[in-house]
Chain A
Amino acid sequence: MQIQLMQVHTMHIPDGFINAPTSAVAVVIAVIGIAICLNGARKQLDEKTAPLAGLVAVFIFAMQMLNFPVALGTSGHLLGGALAVILIGPYAGALAVSVVILVQGLLFADGGLSAIGLNIINMGMVTAVVGWLVFRGLIKGIGVSRPKVMAAAFLAGLVTVPVSALAFVLEYAIGGTGTVPVSTVTFAMVGVHILIGIGEGLITALTVGAVFLARPDLVYGIHDRLPKKLLVTSTPVATPANGS
């Protein structure tokens, strides 16, 4: 069976890697996940936050085209799950990445059609859950300021990539068509994806830092923890004149 080496390299599972039954179950799980996200996002989004959610989806698509070199002949690109959940919340965030993967698979033949459920689980759902838990856990511990939010965003982004790689390993262990031992695949996958995770963390931190600078009130991951002074600066001048 001959495969043409693809011009564009993206971290998507191609067809044939994981057997048909496992891939089919993954599609069912992905559909259930998307349904949950649609419901959650509908409750959370409003007229103010919806445009940012759309922009996040477009931005992740664009960033996923930009492979960066990590080490000796290997590249990686943003997965975007952590970035999405920090900016627009876990439901809308997972949904945004899922839409990206659907468009990539359906329009650009990036990632196998039969593997689309696997790719949505690994890059959309797993990264959203892990990214959200790590970011929120850190923010609760260290508090909210621009450097702290960027540090938490870096770590959240970093962690999501090797965990997403572990999700692939699990799928390979269940339904992989290859004959390579799972332990070998685990070591190889986690190692290189920790390196890619550093890039993910940097892009996540820089992007969240930029949005925090412009509109801290739009960063959903800190919406309930915004320092009062940040709220005041983005409100039209309504302070009592010459209060001091």
Chain B
Amino acid sequence: MLVGAGMVICLFLAGFVSFYASSAPDGLEKVAEDQGLMTTAQDSANATLPTADYGIAGVGSERLSGGLAGVLGVLVMAVIGFGLFWFLGRSKKSATVEKGAD
């Protein structure tokens, strides 16, 4: 229940709400810009990926491109996150008394 509802919320946040996120520079960037540190920053070696900067290359609409990238990220995170933690906790029964309200 909790996991299902949580995944729906995550897909909604990353796929839809993310379009409305603030596009102002973040704390680190702002400081770096104001203090003149940006001169030493380089693009990531990964910057040429079709998914770089939370977009999908070739998708014209910014809203669609960012939304698809968000959904892709949530799905990739779900595979890795649920997979990793399932693996770590596998075949171990709950230490506390079993609860029925799941």
Contact = CB atoms under 8 A, between A and B. Distances in A.
A105 B89 contact: no
A63 B43 CA distance: 23
B interface, over-half SS: helix
A114 B47 CA distance: 13
A192 B94 contact: no
Chain A interface size, as a band, is: 35 or more
Contact of B94 (A48, A65, A214): A48
A223 B16 CA distance: 34
A76 B47 contact: no
Contacts of B54: 7-8, 65, 108, 110
A164 to B, nearest CB: 10
Given A3-B43, A46-B94, A53-B81, A168 B73 contact: no
A55 B10 CA distance: 9
A54 interface: yes
Contacts of A104: 73
A75 interface: yes
Interface string A93-115: 00110011001111111111110
Contact of B28 (A12, A61, A70, A109): A12
A236 interface: yes
A147 interface: no
A50 B41 contact: no
Contacts of B80: 57, 99, 103
A198 interface: no
Interface stretch (A24-32, A151-159, A181-189): A181-189
A52 B35 CA distance: 41
Contact of B3 (A4, A13, A38, A55): A55
B61 interface: no
A11 interface: yes
Nearest to B1: A214
Contact of A10 (B26, B78, B82, B90): B26
Interface of B: 2-3, 6-7, 9-11, 13-14, 17-18, 21-32, 34-47, 49, 51-55, 69-70, 72-74, 76-78, 80-86, 88-101
9 contacts: A11-B29, A51-B3, A54-B81, A55-B10, A65-B13, A66-B17, A68-B22, A95-B85, A188-B31
